Amino acid sequence: MSVSSEATAQATRTVHLVIERQKDPQSRPYREEFVIPYVKNMNVIACLMEIQRTPKNKAGEDVAPVTWEMNCLEEICGACTMVINGKPRQACTALVDQLEQPITIKPMRTFPVVRDLVVDRSRMFDALKRVKAWVPIDGTYDLGPGPRMSERDQQTAYELSRCFTCGACVEACPNVNDKSSFIGPFAISQARLFNMHPTGAMHKEDRLQALMGDGGLEECGNAQNCVQVCPKGIPLTTSIAAMNRQTTFHALGAWLRK
């Protein structure tokens, strides 16, 4: 196919999207269809930007532009996570050429919907606070380089540190719902990460106590959906097993000290 004929073929192609929309947190969701011109190598973000430029639905009616969030466009920030063709993923790396049409786009319903595809992920950040997912330091003076970690621990820590709080694992987990207080796989994995750190281990017992409380490890049903949808391939189920082991030893130690 020549360059001109290929350009003509692309110009006649379209992308069909079915988007679940919602005007505000109190409104009922509704579906709206859009048909936009196809562009080679476009992703879902490009589709949403085209709708924003020309906000007309499939019937040609003028509508309010679709609202969504984005930031890095490099699968690092997690802001553009949504449910695309039934799978929670980032819109920036969802290529139209690799998706079956019509492309269905929905907000992550595990979280409160603010508007259209924008959700409130506050529960994830609250979970990180609960497990103290940070390394405590005294910033008033130079503490030096700190203890060294083995190369093996460094590699494991690097894999766990790739979590960017996108919400995909939480959306895919059947145990995270309005009837459960489960904090989610990501928070358990982050607790493991900071328990591994020589300085982070100062709060190890606090993290284990948090995971032993309501909404902790006991709420996990081991569905293993989380590890299947994680965009960074983080070994979430391995982390859950590791933290189960740590909490068991912590509980036995507490019982023996009585």
Give the per-residue pLDDT at 4. Answer: 53
Q: What is the pLDDT of residues 64-99, one digit of tens each?
A: 999 999 999 999 999 999 999 999 999 999 999 999
pLDDT score of 167 more than 70:
yes
pLDDT score of 2 more than 60:
no
Q: In what order do the strands lie in the sheet with 30-37?
A: 30-37, 14-21, 103-106, 81-84, 87-90
Class of domain 122-256 as given by CATH: mainly alpha
Sign of CA dihedral 136, 142, 145, 146: negative
* Residue pair 39/14 in contact by the 8 Å Cβ criterion: no
Of 56-70, 165-179, 244-258, minimum mean pLDDT range: 244-258
Q: What is the pLDDT of residues 19-40, one digit of tens each?
A: 999 999 999 999 999 999 999 9
pLDDT score of 1 more than 80:
no
pLDDT score of 9 more than 80:
no
Helices (H), the chain: 3-12, 44-53, 122-130, 151-161, 168-172, 185-196, 204-212, 225-229, 236-256
CATH superfamily of 3-119: Beta-grasp domain (3.10.20.30)
* Residue pair 20/29 in contact by the 8 Å Cβ criterion: yes
Q: What is the pLDDT of residues 215-239, one digit of tens each?
A: 999 999 999 999 999 999 999 999 9
Give the per-residue pLDDT at 138. Answer: 76
Return the structure tokens found at 224. 């293993």
Give the per-residue pLDDT at 256. Answer: 81
Q: What is the pLDDT of residues 182-220, one digit of tens each?
A: 999 999 999 999 999 998 999 999 999 999 999 999 999
Average pLDDT over residues 43-54: 97
pLDDT score of 252 more than 80:
yes
Domain with CATH 3.10.20.30 in the chain: 3-119
Domain with CATH 1.10.1060.10 in the chain: 122-256
pTM: 0.89
